[in-house]
Amino acid sequence: MGLDAKVREVLDQFKAAAVPKLWEIGPQAARAVMKSRLLNGKETPIGKVEDRTMPGPAGDIRLRVYTPVGVGDVPVGERDAEVRVGNAPADASDGPLPGLLFFHGGGFVIGDLDTHDDLCRCLANGSGCRVVSVDYRLAPECPFPAAVEDCLAAVIWVDAHKQELGIAGDLAVGGDSAGGNLAAVVCQLAKAAGPRIAFQLLIYPVTQLGQPDMPSMRDNAKGYFLERDGMAWFTRMYCPDAAHHGDPRMSPLLAKDLSGLPPAYVVTAGFDPLRDEGIAYAARLDAAGVPVTQVNYPGMIHGFFSMRGLIPKAREAVAASAAAVRAAMVAE
């Protein structure tokens, strides 16, 4: 299958705008570019949004807690009312709900709570979960393993404060790209030390860094939003010391034993340099006896979940991922 026509339009817009390469402009400018690239529609209605902080390994960590609108099984995007951040319509659920911790993408360098605000709203509404988005420390200011330490601390803290946060049962974790890496790593670490995690949502995850290229990295090296040179730059920013590149906390695909991990839903995209490592991680989970669903969107590119305003297939994929979380957490 070829590149989706709407994706091609988005890529053509980037090309026409002469958007600079991230590795040519440095982290601070790259963060501004990422925000300018977000192609969402109008703000997604949500029941309630609350900004909080929690103590972390190196200082306070910001959290953003999303309570879904109380609309049952109405598909994401079918409500027309404008609801601003902080507003709580009458149908917002205030009772205990399943919880999903979300770790944003951005190569460990350029994402934040705001870049993934719309996606978290959609996941909350579609899954029926209270979503807690984690503003972990970024590289290069705070290189590996700072992000891992923050995300694991967030899982432990949220699990210990579930009653206060209105969360019922064991937590799910999820993330996109670098956030998918962190979600996978946290599941591996929590298997040994707790807390119990019920489900993992891995959206085009990074599962190996500083390792030999897989075919999709070579085939999609340039021209499809995320590029091979960009991944090399992210890797240098996140972990400049190559001696750590074989650490499973950096490359979860390298872990020796994946048995006993939470059920997983793994999303990949056909024109993503990371496609094959996401598929490889899903295959290893399956071989280890972990229930796993692996869904590939052949005409899509890396980052397409954050482009749902212009790409219909992205809206479909976000809704399907949210439904998978809902099904898993209801069963839990």
Q: Other C-beta atoms within 10 Å of 17: how many?
A: 10
Helix or strand holding residue 62 (H, E):
strand 59-67
Strand residue runs (E) in 89-241: 99-103, 130-135, 171-176, 197-203
Long-range contacts of 23-28 (CB under 8 A, 24+ apart): 23/229, 23/230, 23/232, 23/233, 27/109, 27/110, 27/138, 27/139, 27/140, 27/141, 27/237
The two structure tokens encoding residue 54: 């929690």
| Number of other residues whose CB lies within 10 A of the CB of residue 269 | 32
Q: Which residues contact 206 (CB under 8 A, 6 or more apart)?
A: 177, 178, 180, 181, 274, 277
Q: Report the candidate in 215, 181, 217, 219 with the shortest Cα–Cα distance to residue 200.
A: 181
Distance between first and last Cα of the chain: 36
* Token pair for 173: 């974790």
Contact call for residues 86 and 49 (beta carbons, < 8 A): yes
| Catalytic residue positions, numbered | 177, 272, 302
